[in-house]
Structure 1
Amino acid sequence: MNLIRQETDYALRLMGELGGAAGESISAKLAAAKAEVPYEFACKILQKLHEGGLVASVMGPRGGFKLARAASEITLLDVVSAVQGPMIVNNCVGTQACCGREDICPISIKMSELQAHVDQFFNGITLEDVLNGKAKEVSDAK
């Protein structure tokens, strides 16, 4: 199973295109073409990103979509969560504990630590970092 689903990968590509548009709105069709995402799928993804408060729709002849916030304020975790829901590594750390032993179980404790690392990593990379190539520098340094 992939941690990042194909739909989320497409969402990240679309966000990159919107982030590179310098605050201008671009059509869903153009964003989809530039990001190499099937248009119909891009429309559904953009709707999820809109519902998640990450993109704004602009009406009119020069309408389309643009970022709802600055790229420096949007994290990869924001995008993942908007498209595929919470990024949970295991049921033990989800909203509903799987067995009730989470306070004493060594596996649950380690899963909680892993969850914290995943959240910190994805929350520590902004769309601006990705657009400026800093995300690669972070992963190369590890």
Structure 2
Amino acid sequence: MRLQLTKRADYGIRAMLALARARDERMSAPRIAAAMRIPRHFLPQVMADLARAGLVKSTAGRHGGYRLARRADGISLLEVVEAVEGDGGQIDCVLSDAPCGRDGRCELHEFFADARQALLARLAAASLADVPPVALG
């Protein structure tokens, strides 16, 4: 079984980690992309989502760039994922290959809903500051 983030969520977390490590220094999109190995053409979409969610502030111009809107210890991984992916309230039913929804009740719904809640709780409890610096492979 593989639990895997979408590319969009992966890139959102990477970008936010780059900004967290830069502290209050502004970072340009090309610099974030290079530092975190994010495709340059994809990053503006992700950064726009993060800005709309109030997680980053952007400054235009030659000396512009992005920085965190709040301290890294005040931004959860769940906030980042939800900023770029939405809240993910719909769960696909394992048995019918159709949306279960939060109130759906197939035989396996509760098992997967409980697992999902545990994952969401863990992401909500972890801040950007909790993630140790790791070299990208």
TM-score bin (small chain): 0.7 to 0.9
Measure how far apart 1:2 and its partner are.
5.3
CA distance in 1, matches of 2:56, 2:11: 14
Measure how far apart 1:106 and its partner are.
5.3
Counterpart residue number, 1:71: 72
| Secondary structure of 1:39 counterpart | coil
User: Following superposition of structure 1 onto structure 2, how do residues 18-57 of structure 1 map, counting pairs within 5 Å?
Assistant: 18-57=19-58
Gaps of 5+ in 2: 94-99
Name whichever of 124-133 and 17-26 sits farther off.
124-133
Equivalent residue letter for 2:131: V
CA distance in 2, matches of 1:44, 1:68: 17
Matched, 1:10 2:11: yes
Measure how far apart 1:3 and its partner are.
3.9
Report % sequence identity: 31
CA distance in 2, matches of 1:18, 1:7: 17
| Secondary structure of 1:33 counterpart | helix
Matched, 1:81 2:92: no
Structure 1 runs (4+) greater than 6 angstroms displaced: none
Gaps of 5+ in 1: 134-142
Counterpart residue number, 2:113: 112
- TM-superposition CA deviations, 1:12-56 (whole Å, max 9, x none): 111111111111111111111111111110111111111111111
| Aligned residue pairs, count | 127
Measure how far apart 1:132 and its partner are.
5.6
- Give the alignment's TM-score, normalised by structure 1: 0.76
Answer yes or no: is the 8 Å Cα contact 1:72–1:128 preserved in 2.
yes
Answer yes or no: is the 8 Å Cα contact 1:7–1:83 preserved in 2.
yes
CA distance in 1, matches of 2:49, 2:117: 25
Answer yes or no: is the 8 Å Cα contact 1:88–1:115 preserved in 2.
no
Relative distance call for 1:35 and 1:124 in structure 2 (3 A) is same
